[in-house]
Amino acid sequence: MWLTSEWLTTEVGRPANTREWSVPHVAFVPFTGFRVGEPEMLELGMTLPGLVPRAEAIGGLPALGLLTLAGMTPPPWTCSYHDAPRVTDELVDMVRARNPALVAVSALSASIHDAYDFTRRLREYGIPTIIGGLHTTAMPDEAEAHCDAVAVGDGEPIWPVILADARAGALRRRYQSRTPFNMQEAPLPRFDLLGDRVRPRMTIQTQRGCPFACEFCGASRLLGPFREKPVERIAGELARITEICPRPMIELADDNTFAGRREPQGLFDVLAESEARYFTEVDWRIGERPEILAGLAASGCVQVLIGIESILFQPAGMGAKRADLERVMNAVGAIQESGVAVIGCFIVGCDGETESSIDQLGAFLDQCPLADVQLTVQTPFPGTALHHRLKQSGRLLPERGWDRYTLFDLTYQPDNMTVRQLETSFRDLVRQTFADEPARRRAEIRRATWRRHPVLKPCS
């Protein structure tokens, strides 16, 4: 009975609902998408053509965690899925109309107040709610004040218990797995719940966690250790997706694909067989692994995102990812030579950052061979070592709440600049980097890279 041995409730609270359900329904509601708080940054982002498509792609991604829980929800339960960027009367009415025995909500830090507002409105009607995800895993005490129950950590091991309690009208306040989810048991996500709406990208997960522990990263630690999903399970998910959407564009919901020890060929084979084109996040070291360079593009990979982080500063916890810039850029060159375009991701605002160091980054980005660039402000997400360090030293800005934890808003006092200086310098850098001419230059690098791609070649 793994279900009962692996879950833990820390507090037995009042039953959220005393009704017993004969045909219970669970409504899944994710609050995700791209957000920016600072008005000037928001306006800038909306006007820069290089930023808008990526924002739309992220905003349109299905919430894989909730679809996975739906996949392990047995009859007689029925399920529905309602993704919306914000809380609206329509959303509340739509969910209420399902007469759910449980509403399962997921949110990131930037959208957590939407989640709290939504669960508050549902609870006024007596509808039981549970919230999970990275934010509530890091801040369960805060979340408990806003919903009937909180899910901490991996959702899969505790989901059967949550369903049983919800059906009996006796949700407890907190559910937490004692052990990380075993990816050998990964269920098929219910992609069919997405309905007919066209999604620019579908998503699957081939691994969870990361062997490194970058100071600013929560994904690598909050949901447990690095684990890889068996290739047969991945093949099953790809088959389900291609039934719905032939030759799909897929974004792997991985923290760091290929960071483990498994030979990549099995994964490449199932991806190639699906005829999907895919995007994923990796670290630069794959550019020094011939066995990956030989099969990556042929398996359908068209683009990878690599956290280069900074050209001058090296955040703590990067482990073997720490290397000099020349070596990293040589690896980027090797990946692009193989036909896969690289988005270089940079964090602005590390300790030591100055107006001059941001100017240096701008000059580097103006001439570097990256096929695309992503710029973010360092963000101390709850649960990260960075959050802990800045909080301990009194550098978090208390007036800037979770809705500013967007990756584009400053939420802490920089050590070498004023808040205003860093905000202005970051905006200037974004304006410079995503202006027409550099955007055109990178588009040309992408086209040249994809002309070498073995699968894309005939139509490029």
Question: Would you tell me which residues interact with ligand SF4 (CB under 6 A)?
Answer: 210, 212-214, 217, 219-220, 255-256, 283, 307, 321
Least spacing, CB of residue 255 vs ligand SF4, in Å: 4
What is d(CA 169, CA 15) in angstroms, rounded to the nearest whole number? 6
Least spacing, CB of residue 174 vs ligand SF4, in Å: 26
What is d(CA 396, CA 203) in angstroms, rounded to the nearest whole number? 34
Amino acid in the structure at residue 85: P
Least spacing, CB of residue 452 vs ligand SF4, in Å: 26
Instruction: Give the nearer residue to ligand SF4 in terms of CB position, either 256 or 376.
Output: 256
Q: Which among 234, 274, 232 has a CA at the least distance from the CA of 254? A: 234
Complete DSSP assignment for 343-408: EEEEEE--TT--HHHHHHHHHHHHH---SEEEEEE----TTSHHHHHHHHTT-B-TTS-GGG-SSS
Least spacing, CB of residue 58 vs ligand SF4, in Å: 16
Instruction: Give the nearer residue to ligand SF4 in terms of CB position, either 307 or 339.
Output: 307
Instruction: Give the nearer residue to ligand SF4 in terms of CB position, either 48 or 305.
Output: 305
Instruction: Give the nearer residue to ligand SF4 in terms of CB position, either 122 or 253.
Output: 253
Least spacing, CB of residue 401 vs ligand SF4, in Å: 24
From residue 31, how far is each of 41, 239, 406 by CA, in Å?
21, 27, 13
What is d(CA 369, CA 339) in angstroms, rounded to the nearest whole number? 14
Instruction: Give the nearer residue to ligand SF4 in terms of CB position, either 219 or 276.
Output: 219
Complete DSSP assignment for 401-458: -GGG-SSSS--B--SSS-HHHHHHHHHHHHHHHTSHHHHHHHHHHHHHHHHT-TTTGG
What is d(CA 143, CA 109) in angstroms, rounded to the nearest whole number? 11
Least spacing, CB of residue 249 vs ligand SF4, in Å: 22
Least spacing, CB of residue 22 vs ligand SF4, in Å: 44
Least spacing, CB of residue 317 vs ligand SF4, in Å: 7
Q: Assign 3-class secondary structure to 183-212.
A: HHHCCCCCHHHHCCCCCCCEEECCEECCCC
Coil, helix or strand for 115? Answer: helix
Instruction: Give the nearer residue to ligand SF4 in terms of CB position, either 281 or 372.
Output: 281
Ramachandran assignment for 97, one of left (phi > 0), alpha (psi -120 to 50 degrees), beta (any other): alpha
Instruction: Give the nearer residue to ligand SF4 in terms of CB position, either 172 or 321.
Output: 321
Number of alpha carbons in the 13 Å side-chain half-sphere of residue 392: 6
Instruction: Give the nearer residue to ligand SF4 in terms of CB position, either 316 or 443.
Output: 316
What is d(CA 29, CA 26) in angstroms, rounded to the nearest whole number? 10
Instruction: Give the nearer residue to ligand SF4 in terms of CB position, either 256 or 378.
Output: 256
Count Cβ neighbours within 10 Å for each residue of 259-274 and write b for 16 or more, e otherwise: beeeebeebbebbeeb
Coil, helix or strand for 328? Answer: helix
Radius of gyration of the chain (CA): 22
Angle between helices 231-244 and 265-274 (to 10 degrees): 10
Least spacing, CB of residue 286 vs ligand SF4, in Å: 12
Least spacing, CB of residue 378 vs ligand SF4, in Å: 12
Instruction: Give the nearer residue to ligand SF4 in terms of CB position, either 65 or 128.
Output: 65
